[in-house]
Amino acid sequence: MSERIVVDPITRIEGHLRIEAQMEGNKIAQAWSSGTMVRGIEIILKGRDPRDAWAFTQRICGVCTLVHGIASVRAVENALNYNVPPNAQLIRNLMIGAQYIHDHVMHFYHLHALDWVDVVSALNADPKATSSLAQSISSWPKSSPGYFSDMKKKLKNFVEAGQLGIFAKAYWGHPAYKLPPEANLMAVSHYLEALGWQRDVARLHTIFGGKNPHPNFLVGGVPCPIDLNSDSALNAERLAKVQDIIKQMQTFVDQVYVPDTLAIAGFYKDWAGRGEGLGNFMTMGDFPEKGMNDPDSYLIPPGVILNRDLSTIHEIDLNAPDQVQEFVGHSWYDYGAGKDAGLHPYDGETSLNYTGPEPPYEHLDVEQSYSWMKSPRWKGNAVEVGPLARVLMLYASGHEQTKALVEMTLNTLDVSVEALFSTLGRTAARTLETKIIADNMQVWYDNLISNIRAGDIDTFNDRLWEPSSWPSEAQGVGFMEAPRGALAHWIVIKDEKIDNYQAVVPSTWNAGPRDPSGQPGAYEAALQDNHEMLDPKQPVEILRTIHSFDPCIACAVHVTDPDGEELVQVKIK
């Protein structure tokens, strides 16, 4: 009888995710992804002022801070045909870019690296050899033998005191770990350095948005007026601090994150042949140079790639009723038109109906509904969103820097372009796009400074601020490329209030369950792609592939029931 492995909860993610994997021998034959909690945001917005929606939607997630606020203000602006000043767009780009860089570095070191790095093995490292390794791949100044000796002592004190803390409850010594002790010590040292780094770079959000997490936003612009001589505005001192933060980001990315990714990947090239699954990838596009109404000016272009065919990019229309649809065939929801129906978000419904087993339970009934996540599809296709989709879209679109970085990575690792379609490729893509965005941060900053020097200090357009200027009915979609992938919010406005609001988020695209036709989601398909388990009781292989997507299940299950009653009943269970 074949064994079914259950990992619940998947740790080092945001939210509650359960993975069940049916084994055939030592290989995963089938896998199922289940969001095991449900939350409520969308229905709370009904009847509220659309200008306030961003403040509620940002609370979908504290890890994915900022992104839902951006998508929300863009949705209202799209519905009202409300343009924002160029300075506001540049500031938004800087804030989104900072979120990417912060999020990706944190993910690599604090959520994903421990799938590849054996912390306890670092105790056997030679600090002098570690220094030689570090200096051979980077000019990062913290790389002397004395530095790594001190870091080894710090780690040794943790272990001997029985206080591994953040490094506890892992699979140290697992035969799947391949790094030599010196590489482990280098990576653990950078893990600890990144903790301090992330605190400093998050300050960019506080300069433009007043706080982090959940910085402030404004329909029609940004809430930070520019006055170089005022203590209560975006002044010269604060702009200089932004420049310092950008340089700090770029230095860490160039001298630590990129070299570490390549060094670690070199020991795990077998992971370039597993963990893709779907072969379909989607981006909605972001980082406009000339506003959201000009997709040709986006740094990240929108489109869909099907069946790994990089020669063809399919156009995406988020308003077309037959393109983006959500299904609930294997989800704990009901639709008025039945479980097999697919609904466009403008017509979206959220009616909870938990039919799963009474906890605690051994296994889910995967022939029925088994997740609180829905199953989004593009023209009926399951697609992957996120860093790999974006890098592939940039590569297929001929973006020169992306092509150069991809070729450098493939040559360094001595692997073919097929390696992109894998767990390793997904992890590397996140690093490469961080480099691309970090470099563009300077471009956006320079453009902002040039505008200010030319006398343009506008950050808000008040033309459509008053609801009396709005049509009686309007609808729109606000989209962006969040760090975890394509994100969109759809809004329907009637009589100056929100009539309907639906969000389809990256981790719903990737982590959702099978649809009524049996198509698996991206997580499920990736786990079914060439995964052999060395030790089913220590399923580090499952963690590697799931973490490569950087799950956020709080985002994926942001919905609530129209009357709220069933939500309470589920909580009582």
Give yes or no for a contact between 280 and 307, defined as CB atoms under 8 angstroms apart. yes
Token pair, residue 482, equals 């969040």
| Catalytic residue (choose from 4, 14, 34, 326) | 14
Give the list of residues 6+ apart from residue 440 with CB closer than 8 angstroms, or none.
93, 97, 287, 299
CA dist list (Å): 37 to 212, 243, 543: 26, 41, 20
Give yes or no for a contact between 465 and 52, defined as CB atoms under 8 angstroms apart. no
| Catalytic residue (choose from 64, 182, 190, 390) | 64
Verify whether residue 507 is a known catalytic residue: yes
Distance CA 377, CA 386 (A): 15
Give a three-class secondary structure readout of 236-265: HHHHHHHHHHHHHHHHHHHHHHHHHHHHHH
Rg for the chain, CA atoms, rounded: 23
Verify whether residue 418 is a known catalytic residue: no
Token pair, residue 13, equals 């993610």
Verify whether residue 484 is a known catalytic residue: yes
Give the strand order in the sheet containing 17-24: 4-7, 17-24, 27-35
Asked if omega into 471 is within 30° of 0 (cis), the reply is no
| Catalytic residue (choose from 18, 20, 33, 61) | 61
Verify whether residue 61 is a known catalytic residue: yes
| Catalytic residue (choose from 224, 552, 558, 566) | 552
Give a three-class secondary structure readout of 292-350: CCCHHHEEECCEEECCCCCCCCECCCCCCCCCEEEECCCECEECCCCCCCEECHHHCCC
Distance CA 182, CA 556 (A): 38
Distance CA 509, CA 375 (A): 7
| Catalytic residue (choose from 107, 274, 544, 555) | 555
**Catalytic positions:** 14, 61, 64, 68, 484, 507, 552, 555
